[in-house]
A = this chain, B = another copy of it.
């Protein structure tokens, strides 16, 4: 058992859990680049599968663009370059030769994709163009790195769209928010949506929405971003189309980004002092069958194979632990790894034709009749997901506070009146020592108040938080 409670020392708890559960191995000799171990990678692939399903369902097509971006192509949109300049890795040599044109290792793929988009989009019939890719990106992060949350090699999901008009691009953003909802639902992760302030939007964006969840220590973690680019990239990259009147127009673009932070958030939000807890939909192992060896076998193998058959037919990802060690040790190990459901089978279960089930999230044990197993499993998985979701939502809600001003900063998200001016926003950050997340998009503000800095009357509230 882990001798740490996540509420007390979240950072240490998190680092220990990621290691003990075998998610990534941090002993790789390049800072900020970890090895995905089989269990962790399986979880990430299951999350990717949810993401793919939701993208595909909405008519987005998966592609894969090259990793390297020539320097001249990378530099076309000025704000974007400025934002990433200090964060990129440069390939300068190949074999024994120095390259004529240096290559950027993609930190994100706008500048890899957009010159090609200008070839793909010719007329209004080619719009909307909706593509996405799931690739690793590379950012020379200078802050302290943390597994799945702040790495230099990042498992990344990026959606890119082109539209005939600003309004079409806005509708795309609504669709992206629907998609975020579906993905977060599968992971049982609650979140708030903030429109980032001008000074913190994505380099090159017209505006940026941040999807923020809250860690056990009250700090926020951005698990997704959606950007409206308007024509900021399509002009320098010359992505245009002929409209129905035969006039050339620039496309309006959006992007949608998510990453391995989805897994990092899931671990942080659902885990406890015993280890991880996976929501069933993305659990690498949904159920572990633990054999309680009771001396001789007495036909236990036969009963086990009946149980296996039911599990396989129900399409459940399960494993059998028949190692010759104490059951308690097995329990600890699978709890640590976050397997949502444990099945115990021993002489007693076989005799009674029952199975003992134990839920990871509540620890509750019940016995079910063999005949009722398949149905009970489905119900239990639903129940576990619902409970994780409720528990997380309660916590999330409890961490959002309305405060009088930046000097009253407390843990979690602090909402306060704000006139909307950058000057006052920056002042809020200075006084609070925290970040302005922006104005909350998914929560309306009742009435009006006075800006906590300049005192002007306003209907806006801004969210302020310490972020990961």
Complex CA gap A42/B131 in Å reads 12
Question: Of B28, B38, B94, B105, which one neighbours A131 at CB under 8 angstroms?
Answer: B38
B153 touches A68 (CB 8 A): yes
- Is the CB–CB distance between B85 and A28 below 8 Å? no
Residues of B within 8 A of A465 (CB): none
Chain A interface residues (CB < 8 Å from chain B): 25, 27-30, 33-38, 41-42, 44-45, 61-70, 73, 85-96, 103, 105, 112, 115-116, 119, 131, 136, 138, 140, 142, 153, 155
Kindly state the separation between the CA atoms of A376 and B61 in the bound complex, as whole angstroms: 30
A67 touches B28 (CB 8 A): no
Given A91-B91, A91-B105, A93-B89, the answer on whether A35 and B70 have CB atoms closer than 8 Å is no
Q: Is B91 touching A29 in the complex (CB atoms < 8 A)?
A: no
**A46 CB to closest chain B CB, in angstroms?**
12
**How many monomers of this protein are in the complex?**
2
Q: Say yes or no: B70 contacts A30, CB within 8 Å.
A: yes
Q: How far is the CB of A432 from chain B (nearest CB, A)?
A: 29
Q: Which residue in chain B gives the minimum CB-CB distance to A95?
A: B86
Chain B residues within an 8 Å CB radius of A67:
33, 136, 138, 153
A87 and B138 CA atoms in complex are apart in Å by 21
Q: Which of B41, B94, B112 contacts A89 (CB 8 A)?
A: B94
| Cβ-defined partner of A65 (8 Å) among B28, B42, B90, B142 | B28
| 22 interchain pairs, CB-CB under 8 A | A27-B119, A29-B73, A30-B68, A30-B69, A33-B66, A34-B66, A36-B63, A38-B62, A38-B131, A41-B64, A42-B61, A42-B62, A44-B64, A64-B155, A66-B153, A67-B136, A85-B95, A86-B95, A89-B93, A89-B94, A91-B91, A95-B140
Is the beta-carbon distance between B35 and A116 smaller than 8 angstroms?
Answer: yes
CA distance A94 to B90 in the complex (A): 6
Q: Which residues of B contact A94 (CB under 8 A)?
A: 88-90, 140
Q: Say how far A130's CB is from chain B's closest CB, in angstroms.
A: 10
Min C-beta distance of A265 to chain B, whole Å: 19
Whether B63 and A37, one on each chain, are in contact in the complex, defined by CB atoms closer than 8 angstroms, is yes
Nearest CB of chain B from residue A73's CB, rounded to whole Å = 6
**Contact in complex: A95, B91 (CB < 8 Å):** no
- Is there an interface contact between B66 and A45, defined as CB atoms closer than 8 Å? no
Q: How far is the CA of A35 from the CA of B135 in the complex (A)?
A: 13
5 further A-B pairs in the complex, CB-CB below 8 A; given A27-B119, A30-B69, A67-B136? A35-B64, A35-B116, A41-B63, A89-B93, A89-B94
* Contact A38-B66, Cβ < 8 Å, known A86-B96, A92-B90: no
B86 in contact with A63 (CB, 8 Å) = no
Q: How far is the CA of A140 from the CA of B97 in the complex (A)?
A: 10
CB-defined contacts of A27 to chain B, threshold 8 Å: 116, 119
